Structures are given as C-alpha cells and as structure tokens.
Amino acid sequence: MFLCCGDSLFDVFAETGEDVSRIDLQARIGGSALNAALGLARLGHPVAFFGKISNDLYGRQLRAFMAAESIDQSFLIPTGRNTTLAMVSLSAAGVPQYSFYTEGTADRSVVPDEVPEALAPEVAAIHIGGSYTTVSEPTSLALSKLVAQEKDRLFISYDPNIRASIVPDLDVWRVKVAEFVASAALVKASDEDLAQLYPNREIADVLGEWVSLGASLAVCTRGEKGAMALSASGVSVSVDGVRVEVVDTVGAGDTFFAAMLSKLAEDGQMSREALAQFGRGDLEALIGFAVRAAAVTCGRRGADLPRRADLGLAPLAR
C-alpha cells in the first residue's frame, strides 16, 4: 500500500462574463498529495491518505470522493477546521494561477503527536505531496517526523510543488526541500519549481545536487518539452513531451508522479537498490510512461487523472 501525505483541498475555477456582478465558480477536488493518491488508486494500487479532513461541506465531499475512488481513509484525522480552497484562473495556454485560502485550515494543522507511532505492515511506500504543507507549521513538523521515522524502512518519494504565494520566503522552501530530498529515494519537481527555487541554475545541476544529497532518482518535468531525469548511478535521460490539445495542466505533475510510482511497483523496482541498477532503457521507459499519463490529464478539465484503460493497460491481477 502507498500512503500519500500532504495537501487536500478544492480547486475553485472562476469564470467571469459580461455581467460584472457575478463570478461563476466550479469546485473540483485537488491538492498535490490527494491527486497522487487518486492517480495511484485509478491505476489499481492500494493507497491511503494521511492528513486532517474537515467536517465542513468540503471535507464531507472529500471523504465521499475518497470512498468512491477506493482511497483508504484509515489515516485521516477529523477536525472542525475549514477545508483549504484554491481559487484557480487559467491562462490562454491552460496554465493555472492560484490564490489560496489557507489560514488555519485542516491540512495545515496536523501536529507531530498525531503521526502514527507505527504504520501497518502493508504500507510499503510513503509519498509526500509537498506544496504548502511541507513548509507550514505544524504540518511540516509532522511530515518531517513521519519521514524520519520511516525512511530506513520504507520507500519515500517527494514532490516539492512550490507555492510561494502561501509561503513567500524561498529560503524556507530551500531548507525544507533539501531536508526531504535527503530522505527520499525518488524526487520530482517541475521546471517552474526549479526556476523559483534556484534562478539562473541549469536543471541538470539541480538534479545532480539532489542526487548528491541522497536521492536515488531525481526528475524534472518540463511541460510540453517532456522531462529530464538523473539516477544516482549517473544515468541521465531526456524524454520528449506528447502532443495533446491542452484543456489545462491542473494535476499533470501529480499524474506524472503517480504513473512513475505505479510502474515502479508493477515492475518490482520500488527500492533504492533497483533504482541504482537502472540503465538508460529502464529510465526512458519509466519517464516516457509518466509523460504519456500526464498528457491524458492535460486534455481534461481539472485533476481528472487517467485510469488504466486510458493508458492501454490491462487490469491488475488480484
């Protein structure tokens, strides 16, 4: 089982028209960590979510959604705090811009004492969805505690997913990113993330630094240009993007990560030792599959991640 940890929220898409007295809103479930959980569930893998969930309208919808998508709720922590909302506006190219309503919200309020002392034996991997929960206290401390507790036993993956509009101090992000990278076997960030964190640095240099910190595999997604990856064994690849009519890119990076994790699990390669033995062909196959999966999400509204049939995959044997 995968355990996804981090943000869970509603993306609220705003549309304006000639009537300036109204804004039409459409809310869709999102959050980097929850999107990754959704992607894994839709690809047929057992997955649970760890975080606080509100008892407000949005929180009840989140629980119903998890039930409908077969995301295990055993690790959820109930709270009366409100659900995080992300107001989304789209550029002409479908690239989202976010304004967050996060003050005192549920997913930002997990405390270290609420981290389970021991995870169930069936949990084989922890995915940290990143975003504001990894730099906002107390949830950041709770996630750090969980990773420190389990990093020597479980496969850890991490997606920084920078949201500087919530925590503007990029030095805070840099410290936390370095901390989580050092504990993770697999790390993925977007070129936009890297441009914010490390302006004027080459992508390859950053990936090399992350590998030197401890990551077994470091990946950077580049939108329509595809993705780059570097393994701790020194193998590097660059995979082209897939042409698609873009509706929006919401959830594309989370799809990419879920696809990587899914393939590693199905190929029996979800370990540091396996990643260290990757050849160029192995790495190109992994990144290429993730690129194709992300392209499916780009052709849909919101974080509507693909199922196995969407990717031409047979059902997993049970």
Q: What is the pLDDT of residue 267?
A: 97
Virtual CA dihedral for 50, 55, 59, 64, nearest 10 degrees? 90
Class of domain 2-6+32-82+111-311: alpha beta
What pLDDT sits at residue 91?
74
One-letter amino acid identity for 82? N
Domain segments of the chain as ranges: 2-6+32-82+111-311
Q: In a 10 Å sphere around its CB, with 0-12 CB exposed, 13-18 middle and 19+ buried, how is residue 101 labelled?
A: middle
> Rounded CA gap, 295 and 256, in Å?
9
What is the phi/psi pair of residue 101, to 5°? -110, 95
C-alpha to C-alpha distance for 181 and 192, rounded to whole angstroms: 18
Q: How many angstroms separate the CA atoms of 134 and 142, rounded?
A: 9
In the Cβ-directed half-sphere of 195, how many Cα atoms lie within 13 Å? 5
Note whether 106 and 82 are within 8 A (CB).
yes
> What's residue 135's pLDDT?
96
Convert the pLDDT of each residue in 111-169 to its tens digit: 999 999 989 899 999 999 978 999 999 999 999 999 999 999 999 999 999 999 899 99
pTM: 0.94
Contacts of 139 (CB under 8 A, 6+ apart): 51, 107, 108, 109, 110, 133
- For the chain, which residues score pLDDT lower than 70? 94
DSSP character for 138? Answer: T
> Which pLDDT does position 268 carry in this prediction?
97
User: From CA 119, how far away is CA 273, in angstroms rounded?
Assistant: 22
